[in-house]
Amino acid sequence: MLIGVYGSFAEELSKNGLDTDPETVRKNLKLYLNGVAMDGLLPVVLPPEAAVGLKTTDPKPALVLRFVLDRDSNNDLNRKAWDSFLSQLQSFPQRLQAGVGLNGKVPHLSPAQDLQFQVRDDALINSVIVVGSVLLAVGMLAVIFSGMVREAGPGTPYSLGKTQMAFWGLLVAISFLGVWLIGHRMERIPPQVLVLMGISGATGLGSVLTNIKPTQPAQPVPPPQPAQPIQAALPVRTAQTNRLQWFFQTLSRWLNESVTAYILDSNLRRRPSHE
């Protein structure tokens, strides 16, 4: 985009050091499109001979400014400026009024709407939205019926963590592809979307880890023991029974003595003293 500078504005640029410090002046110049300041667009100062498309009756500019209309999604100021500007436009071709301002002052506007501008066609945008929605629905149905979002395979309940991970992953991937088809460039993914994908991925991974059951090591099979006669086992069982009987008898005797001592002690305390 070429803009010619004439008269008083050219003199103002010279007074601000265009000849001695052109880099500083170039950074202080700002393009305006329909009254919207387009931050992040730095001009290139060209000689008057760079002006093209002039009629024979048009005056020759003192110098020419060339702006490249580029949207940088990684530059917050530039991205917000383009969002504010594009929200005012329609899909059909339209003419805009351009202007240039220095140091934040009132911009010098072109006398007419000489700039022709057009955004993407509505039919292309709507087609991408419809196709993307269909792909999202088909992808989710394929994931659900394949059993990938179940907790532990076919027949088990569906996992909320895996379902969220599949939904947000498909949505972000299809949206990224749709923006690339419309804008013909790789668009920046906002950090909020990355955080959301990280949370859904962590939820799905946690669901997988909680459903993993530790495998028990195989126990060696003991060799078969030879059969022993019943008479040989009787003495062992009798000795165990005798020990149990002795334990319960001792416990019963101790409880009986403890209770008796407690009753006698209580009676002695209740007996009145004769002093």
In tens, the pLDDT along 229-268 reads 544 444 444 555 565 566 556 656 665 666 566 556 655 5
Which has more confidence, 46 or 54? 46
Asked whether residue 132 falls in the same domain as residue 206, the answer is: yes
pLDDT attached to residue 135: 94
pLDDT attached to residue 234: 44
Inform me whether the pLDDT recorded for 274 exceeds 50: no
Instruction: Name the residue among 94, 119, 108, 89 with its Cα closest to residue 3.
Output: 108
**Residue 146, domain extent:** 122-210
The closest alpha carbon to 65, from 111, 104, 18, 112, belongs to 18
Burial of 84 (0-12, 13-18, 19+ CB in 10 A): middle
Sheet of 98-102: strand order equals 36-38, 29-33, 98-102, 108-109
CA–CA separation, 59 and 183 (whole Å): 37
Q: Does residue 49 share a domain with residue 138?
A: no
79 occurs within a structural domain: yes
135 and 201 co-located in one domain: yes
Q: Are residues 112 and 126 in the same domain?
A: no
Domain final position from 155, 181, 210: 210
CA–CA distance, 93 with 60 (Å, rounded to integer): 28
Q: How many domains does the chain have?
A: 2
Residues in the chain: 275
pLDDT at 88: 84
**Cα(30)–Cα(142) distance, integer angstroms:** 51
Q: Is residue 178 part of a domain?
A: yes
| pLDDT at position 238 | 55
User: Do 7 and 98 sit in the same domain of this protein?
Assistant: yes
CB under 8 Å to 114, separation ≥6 — which residues?
A: 95, 97, 98
The verdict on residue 41 lying in a domain is yes
Q: Which residues of 85-101 are buried (b: 16+ CB within 10 A; e: fewer)?
A: beeeeeeeeeebebbbb
pLDDT at residue 140, as a whole number? 92
Same domain, 128 and 48: no
**How far apart are alpha carbons 170 and 141 in whole angstroms?**
12
Q: Are residues 133 and 62 in the same domain?
A: no
Model confidence at 275: pLDDT above 50 = no
- Give pTM, 2 decimals: 0.58
User: Pick from 63, 97, 117: which residue ends a domain?
Assistant: 117
Higher pLDDT, 41 or 154: 41
Domain boundary among 210, 232, 263: 210
Higher pLDDT, 86 or 154: 86
Domain annotation covers residue 256 = no
For residue 232, count CB atoms less than 10 angstroms from its CB and return exposed for 0-12, middle for 13-18, buried for 19 or more. exposed
Q: What is the pLDDT of residue 228?
A: 55
* Lowest-confidence pick of 41-55, 84-98, 180-194, 240-254: 240-254
Tell me which of 237 and 41 has the higher pLDDT: 41
